Structure formats: structure tokens, C-alpha cells
Chain A
Amino acid sequence: MGDILKTTVSRRAVLGAGVAGASLLAMPAILRAQDKSLKVGVYGGYFKDSFDKNIFEDFTKATGIAVESVAEPTGEAWLVQLEQAAKAGQAPADVSMMSQVAMLKGQSTELWAPLDMGNIPNGSNLIDHFVNKYPDGRIAGIGAVAWYITLVTNTDVYKEAPTSWAALWDPANADKLGLLALVSNSFLLEVTAKTHFGGTNALDTEEGLLKAFEKLAEVKPNVRLWYRDEAQFEQSLKSGEIPMGQYYHDVTGLAAKDGQPVRSTFPKEGGIMDSGCWALSRASQKTEEAHAFINYMCQPAIQATLSRKVGTAPTVKRDLLDLTAEEFAAVSSDIEPIIPRYDLYTSKADWLNQKWTEMIAG
């Protein structure tokens, strides 16, 4: 950068220096930011770019805490890294966005520093289930963003939108579905329980789980594709090759806006709501800054910005938000969601995985 300025002391450079100088004067927060900072881990790629652009800069302006964003790998690789670093007293990121299963696994090794709700006054805005607690009631994490997996259809093939997850079982849909290939990301056991057995509590016992597996096995003849790669299904959905399935509500909405013949429907049993939490590594020295950050993120205005700019569902209560009905519908729904049974994916992970693989591949 220095070289560029040296070699071309042009009008652009002079203007740039002027703007930088003016903003220093206008925003004393940036000056203070040098001594207060926080490393925040978010999923790399689209999420990190959106957060860098729409959230972190404003946060620094408002609080004077500089944010260094760290790109996290998806999956559980980040959890492993945090865990191993914490053992050595290091924190590659102070606050990280973590999946619910990763939250539970981190709890088992006390990886997450308990949060003090007294320092997070905006926490009262949250919908209750977005507060992640240790079994003894200490707060392990706070809901960061949420997203929905819904029933999606190709509008050329299905003139009428389906109304229920029961459509997956309809013999008329033979060889027409695209479903996620893993037990821990498709959440189809929960869908089965809610649709046919009255709720996800039906999965409490091994007996109930086996009944759900048995019922779910009935959709197999309808499934054309069990996908791991999202692009693979999205393409087939748009072309009508695979005209029905489960997919992300926000992405489907964006595709429909682009003029693609697709729609996302919240079935009457509810969409599947998955979410990420902000969690603080126990090795972090930045407890105060971390609380300020999490508190900032719990503001209804920030959640509304996330919904508009990033396409995530808000984690605070609907009536606190200034989102229009249309903006809200683009990311969420008032129908009560199906909340995945994350506890099962830690306590019975291998058993579920084995049964699932045997069910779909057997």
C-alpha cells in the first residue's frame, strides 16, 4: 500500500488521505479502538464477507472495539482447533459462531466460558430457546443467527404449493425428492416425529427412534437424490429434474427472486429451524469486550439488518423488530418451527449414524 502511494501521488491518493483524516476527526471511536479489540470467528465465505461489510464496522464505530474477523471452517474442524488451542491457553478467536451440536460437544469439555447475562441486557430480547445453557443453568452461548430448512418445490411441476411434510410420503411423488444425505444435517427424524408421531418428544426413547426410522424408510422410493452438495440439488430443483425436496428457505427465496421457477413453503408442521450461537472460548482474555459484542448483536435493529442483508432469521422476538411482513416472510415464519433434537446427535451420534446409513443405503 505504501508503495502505491509513493509511486502515484495522484489526486486519488490525496483525496484518500483527506477522507481518512476527516473520518479520524469525526469518529474518535476508531482512535480508541486500537487498545480494545476482539477476534470473532464466523463461517468463512459468504457469512464472513457479509458480517465484515454490514456488521463489524458499525460495531467498532458504536463501541470502540476493533473486530478482527476469523474465517471458520464449517463442520466440526473449528471446534477441534478451539479445543486444542484452549488446552494450550490460546484462543484463535475469542467469540465464535458455533453450530448447536458443536455447542453441546464444547460443553462436555467446559470449552465455553459461562456468560454473565447481567452484562448482556439486550439478552432479554431473545426468543427463549436461543439461550444455550449448561446442564447446571450457566449460560454457554447466545443465539447469533438462525435459518430455516423448508419444503421446496418447482413451480412448473407443482402448480399448487404443498401444505404439509406429509407430501414426502405421498406415493404420487415417487422418484421426485431431493433430501439431505446425513442424519445430522437433514433433521428428517424430527420431521417424521412431528408429522406422524405428534412431536419431537417421540424421539426420547430408542423405541421411538426406531419407529421414526421405520416410518421414514417409507419415503425411500420417493427419493431420487440424497445430497451432500447443495449446488447439486439446487440445480436439479430449478430445472425441474428433481421437483421437490428439503432446502434452505433463504437461498430458495433468492432463486425465486431471480425468476427461477422455485418456491419455499413452510409446511403446517413448521419449517426446520437450525441456528448458530455466539460462544466465548474459556482461554480468551477479552471477557468484557465479548459481552459488549454479544450484547450489541442482540439488538432488534442489528437482527433486522442481518435479516435484510445476510438473509438469516432473527433470534429476537418478532414484535420487537421493525421488519415489514414481506421482509419477515423472506427469512422466517410465524408457524412454530421444528427444533432439531441436537442432544441426540451427541448422546447417540454413532448409533443414529449407523441406523441412518443402513436405512438409506441398505
Chain B
Amino acid sequence: MRREAPQKLTDYAPLAFPAGMLIVFFVVPFATMIAVSFFRRDPAGFYSPDFVFDNYARFLSLFFGKVLGFSLFLAVAVAICCVVIALPFTYLLSRTKRRTQVLWLVALLSVLSLSEVIIGFAWSTLFSRTAGITNLLVMLGIMSEPIALNPSFGAVLTAMVYQALPYTVLVLYPALVRLDPTLTEAARTLGASPLKAFFTVVVPALRNTVVATLIMVFIFALGSYLLPQILGRPQHWTLSVLITDQAIYQSNMPFAAAMAVFLVLVTLGLVALTVYAGRKGEAA
């Protein structure tokens, strides 16, 4: 079947529904947020419509720069950890029997049914001194006494990777299942070890998928605000935590909106940069 470019105006009609949805559920709320970010804050009351840059000016400080930097770093770390774990896992999974695959996928999907709150509290119990996993290590004689593993950066990272891993696998799975098995077979016939075949044939063949997955997990992790609060110290709080504080506890909507707009812009910028770099690398 040959695809033809739309000729008449009515050929574009099917686009109307998604476009309408996008306008109602994305463009309008986002435009409202941008508008509010320029409103004037009244500390004794709420805010009034205006056009001021105060909210952005307050954000441009070393303190918020550091928080933004940490948030981006955390999201990148989560994305890399997820892909590093999920890629070999999904590759091996795609080579197993159909029944095994279905079982694993159902198990992973069930993790998605857990809310962020449950994941946070479960990990905080697992990492606790009184009831956590270090008690098991003490029983096995590996450690002398139980210790608390949270709050710490490791605890935040672990829980966030746990939360994002099912998505990562689900995004990688279709691409890996469709991957032509003769590619690796050819590599093996030519004398490459399974490990070498994986890294020199499978990974490069999936380059675009991997980049897309990294971006997806990165954006997913950037929005997290509960896990850093439950499992981290204040220096591990992300920008999303501070946005929540401003919006809900300080009723400073203009500042919260300004921070959110800033976060979205930085994110879009980084994603654009990644895609651009990917294109360039492909051309070379």
C-alpha cells in the first residue's frame, strides 16, 4: 500500500480529534501556567494578574541552580541505571520461551500497579535499621549489627530505578523481539563470543531505541517528588519537591509556575540536544 500525501483539506480531518485533545489537555493548561508565572505574588494574600519577572529572577540563584542540577543528575542516573539493567534483561527475555516471557511481563506489569507511595514506604521499611534487609545479613553472619540504609542517595536511586524499570523493559521489549536473530548468529559464526556479539551487534542495532528509552525514563524520573522526600535527605530533594512546597504549602502559585516552566524548558532543551547529537552521530 502506497501512502499518499493529503490532497484536500478534509484529508486532514482525522487529525482534528488528537489536535483537540492536545489543545484541551496540554496547550491550555501549559499556557495558563506560563501566564501565572508572570503574575505578581502577594505574600499576605494570593496573586494578582500582572506581567513581572520577579518569579524568574528569584529562581536564578545558586541555590536553585544546585537543586536543578541535582534533579537533572538524578534523572540521568536513573535513566542510565534502568537501561543498563533492562537492556541485557530484555534481550535474554526475548530469547526465552513464549510462556516464560508472558510470566515475566505479567510480573513486571504488576509492579506498575503499585503507587509511588507504596513503593516509597516499602523501600523505607526494607532499608530501615529495625526491620530492614541488613537484619538478614546479620543473621547470615555477614554484618555485625543492623544499620539504616536510608535516608541516602542510594535509597532514592534504588527506589526510582525500581519504579521506572518496568516501563524501560516494556519500551525495549518490542524492538528486541523484532530484532533479527540471524544478526547475532552471523556474529557467532564469525567467531564472536556471546558477550561480544551483544555489544558489537545488538546494542548498535538498537541505538535509536536505546536513546528513545533513555529520554523516556529521564523525563519520567524528573517528575518524581515523593520518593526523594521519603527516602532522601533534604539535599536529595528534587526541584519537583520544592515546586510542590511552593504551590501547596506557601500558596505561591506564580513562583511554583515559574519553576515548573523553567524545568520544562530545560528538559525540552536537553531532549532536543540528545536527538540532535544522535542525528549528527548517525550522519557521520
List A contacts of B63 (CB < 8 A).
357-358, 361-362
Distance from B113 Cβ to chain A, minimum over Cβ atoms (Å): 21
The stretch of A56-64, A135-143, A224-232, A309-317 in contact with B is A224-232
List B contacts of A360 (CB < 8 A).
234
The reply to whether B251 and A226 form a contact with Cβ atoms under 8 Å apart is: no
Q: What's the dominant secondary structure at chain A's contact region?
A: helix
Distance from A174 Cβ to chain B, minimum over Cβ atoms (Å): 13
The reply to whether B242 and A347 form a contact with Cβ atoms under 8 Å apart is: no
CB-based nearest B residue for A175: B148
A184 within 8 A of B: yes
The reply to whether B250 and A353 form a contact with Cβ atoms under 8 Å apart is: yes
Alpha-carbon separation in the docked complex, A182 to B69 (Å): 22
B192 within 8 A of A: no
Alpha-carbon separation in the docked complex, A346 to B46 (Å): 11
Which 4 residue pairs spanning A and B have beta carbons closest together? A361-B234, A108-B44, A360-B234, A349-B43
Alpha-carbon separation in the docked complex, A229 to B228 (Å): 13
The reply to whether B245 and A347 form a contact with Cβ atoms under 8 Å apart is: no
Alpha-carbon separation in the docked complex, A239 to B131 (Å): 9
Q: Mark B234-261, 1 if CB is under 8 A from A, else 0.
A: 1101000010011011111001000000
The reply to whether A75 and B248 form a contact with Cβ atoms under 8 Å apart is: yes
A76 within 8 A of B: yes
Distance from B267 Cβ to chain A, minimum over Cβ atoms (Å): 21
B191 within 8 A of A: no
List B contacts of A358 (CB < 8 A).
63
Extra contacts, 8 of them, besides A228-B229, A357-B63 (Cβ < 8 A), are A184-B249, A225-B151, A229-B230, A232-B121, A232-B230, A236-B128, A346-B44, A350-B250
B45 within 8 A of A: yes
Alpha-carbon separation in the docked complex, A361 to B234 (Å): 4
The reply to whether A361 and B235 form a contact with Cβ atoms under 8 Å apart is: yes
CB-based nearest A residue for B41: A350
The reply to whether B252 and A226 form a contact with Cβ atoms under 8 Å apart is: no
The reply to whether B234 and A347 form a contact with Cβ atoms under 8 Å apart is: no
Alpha-carbon separation in the docked complex, A224 to B130 (Å): 15
Of the candidates B128, B229, B250, which one forms a contact with A239 in the assembled complex, judged by CB atoms under 8 Å apart? B128
List B contacts of A241 (CB < 8 A).
128-130, 148
A114 within 8 A of B: no
Residues facing A in B108-128 (CB within 8 A) are 121, 124, 128
Distance from B66 Cβ to chain A, minimum over Cβ atoms (Å): 8
Known A-B contacts A182-B245, A241-B148, A347-B44; A361 and B67 likewise in contact (beta carbons under 8 Å): yes
Distance from A268 Cβ to chain B, minimum over Cβ atoms (Å): 29
Alpha-carbon separation in the docked complex, A262 to B45 (Å): 39
Q: Which of A105, A349, A361 has the most CB of B within 10 A?
A: A361
The reply to whether B151 and A80 form a contact with Cβ atoms under 8 Å apart is: no
Distance from B256 Cβ to chain A, minimum over Cβ atoms (Å): 12
Residues facing A in B131-166 (CB within 8 A) are 131, 148, 151
List B contacts of A75 (CB < 8 A).
248-249, 251
Distance from B275 Cβ to chain A, minimum over Cβ atoms (Å): 33
